[in-house]
């Protein structure tokens, strides 16, 4: 008896929310009808201008006006189609007995459900997509947000044992980001199920999407789920194809790394420097600054005094000049 009373209480709250949803739907219908009427007025106004231009022989102006009318007709067609979706298949909120049967079916399908703080929730089985374990998800329908059905998704998809994409912790499923499901082609069917109070069908639809991978619209592709994002370009590559730079301690793809010509150590393109004398690239350990001019140069382009080639040559010329001057002074003195 207590269980039945509890179910009746939950069903009453759901029925009340569905009644509010019906009112919200009618408000959307009114708004869309107003949009249609507004566009009709604009069409009528531009039609009069079009005929006026023709009657006065303003061919160029009539052509431009005709172009505007064409665009407006296309926009009006889209508006009427969206309005039809709201006006057709209108259903009254389901009665209490229908909702009680839905709750019983929900319990039978998922083993149990929870109803706390106006949120009706079920838990799916652990989900695995193409060998990637994602864990179970809780599908949580928030009845207080049901009236926003035509503007935003009134339910959350929460990972209970999160195994998110390595590149984005907010993506817990290829089609779930920040606990919001990308419904894709299932959006209209899900909305209709909620409008009709077919709760079990709604949860089954969401579960079905979670068990399906659509390669055309993932937040993160399943093949990149356990991959590594390149620090430089953001390209996601497999763990076995990523390169770790020991100098900046970040991971890179093969397009954003090179190797040191001095020690053959792999490094990112930002941590190597070009020697201006030989044009080769070297890591920080194999390139240094000339103590005289402070220019970078590799070990092969420095002398035993660590001077770069330019400074070394200048030093040799200066030494030769000093030697010649010394010899000249010696001869003169003799």
Q: What is the pLDDT along the chain (334 residues), one digit of tens a residue?
A: 568 888 999 999 999 999 888 887 777 777 878 888 888 888 888 888 888 888 888 888 888 888 888 888 888 887 777 666 666 656 678 899 999 999 999 999 999 999 999 999 999 999 999 999 999 999 999 999 998 888 899 999 999 999 999 878 899 999 999 999 999 889 989 998 998 999 999 999 999 999 999 998 899 888 888 878 788 887 777 677 788 898 898 888 888 998 898 888 888 989 998 888 888 899 988 888 888 888 888 888 888 778 888 888 888 777 777 777 776 766 665 5
Tell me what pLDDT residue 168 has.
84
- Is 254 within 8 Å of 241 (Cβ atoms)? yes
- Is 314 within 8 Å of 305 (Cβ atoms)? no
Quick one: CA torsion of 225, 227, 230, 235, rounded to 10 degrees?
A: -50
CA separation for the pair 9, 14 (Å, rounded) = 9
Nearest Cα neighbor of 49 from 66, 72, 37 is 66
CA separation for the pair 209, 277 (Å, rounded) = 60
Buried b (16+ CB within 10 A) or exposed e, 222-258: bebbebbbbbbeeebbeeeebbebeeeebbbbeebbb
pTM: 0.63
Tell me what pLDDT residue 2 has.
63
CA separation for the pair 273, 283 (Å, rounded) = 7
- Tell how far CA 150 is from the center of its chain: 22
Sheet arrangement for strand 155-159 = 114-116, 119-123, 137-142, 155-159
CA separation for the pair 139, 106 (Å, rounded) = 12
Tell me what pLDDT residue 151 has.
85
Tell me what pLDDT residue 89 has.
58
CA separation for the pair 273, 262 (Å, rounded) = 12
First to last CA, the chain: 131
Three-class SS state of 94: coil
In degrees and rounded to multiples of 5, residue 244 shows phi and psi of -100, 125
Q: Please, which residues have CB within 8 angstroms of residue 211's CB and are 6 or more apart in sequence?
A: 127, 129
Tell me what pLDDT residue 123 has.
97
């Amino acid at each position: 008896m207590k269980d039945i009373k509890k179910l009746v209480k939950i069903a009453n709250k759901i029925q009340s929310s569905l009644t509010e949803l019906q009112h919200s739907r009618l408000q959307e219908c009114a708004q869309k009808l107003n949009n249609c009427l507004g566009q009709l007025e604009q069409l009528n106004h531009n039609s009069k201008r079009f005929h006026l231009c023709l009657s006065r022989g303003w061919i160029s102006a009539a052509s431009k006006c005709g172009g505007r009318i064409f665009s407006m007709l296309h926009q009006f067609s889209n508006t009427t189609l969206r309005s039809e979706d709201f006006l057709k298949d209108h259903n009254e909120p389901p009665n209490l007995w229908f909702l009680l049967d839905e709750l019983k079916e929900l319990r039978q399908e998922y083993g149990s459900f929870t109803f706390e703080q106006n949120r009706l929730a079920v838990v799916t089985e652990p989900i695995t997509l193409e060998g990637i374990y994602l864990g179970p998800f809780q599908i949580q329908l928030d009845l207080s947000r049901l009236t926003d059905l035509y503007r935003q998704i009134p339910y959350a998809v929460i990972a209970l044992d999160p195994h998110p994409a390595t590149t984005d912790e907010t993506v817990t499923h290829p089609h779930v980001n920040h606990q919001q499901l990308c419904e894709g082609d299932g959006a209209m069917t899900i909305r209709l199920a909620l409008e009709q109070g077919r709760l079990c069908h709604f949860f089954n639809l969401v579960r079905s999407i979670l068990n399906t991978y659509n390669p055309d619209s993932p937040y993160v592709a399943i093949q990149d789920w356990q991959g590594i994002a390149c620090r430089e370009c953001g390209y996601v590559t497999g763990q076995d194809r990523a390169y770790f730079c020991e100098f900046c301690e970040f991971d890179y793809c093969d397009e954003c790394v090179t190797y040191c010509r001095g020690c053959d150590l792999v490094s990112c393109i930002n941590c190597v420097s070009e020697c201006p004398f030989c044009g080769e690239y070297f890591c920080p350990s194999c390139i240094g600054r000339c103590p005289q001019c402070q220019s970078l140069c590799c070990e092969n382009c420095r002398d035993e005094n660590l001077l770069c080639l330019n400074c070394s040559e200048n030093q040799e010329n200066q030494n030769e000049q000093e030697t010649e001057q010394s010899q000249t002074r010696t001869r003169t003195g003799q």
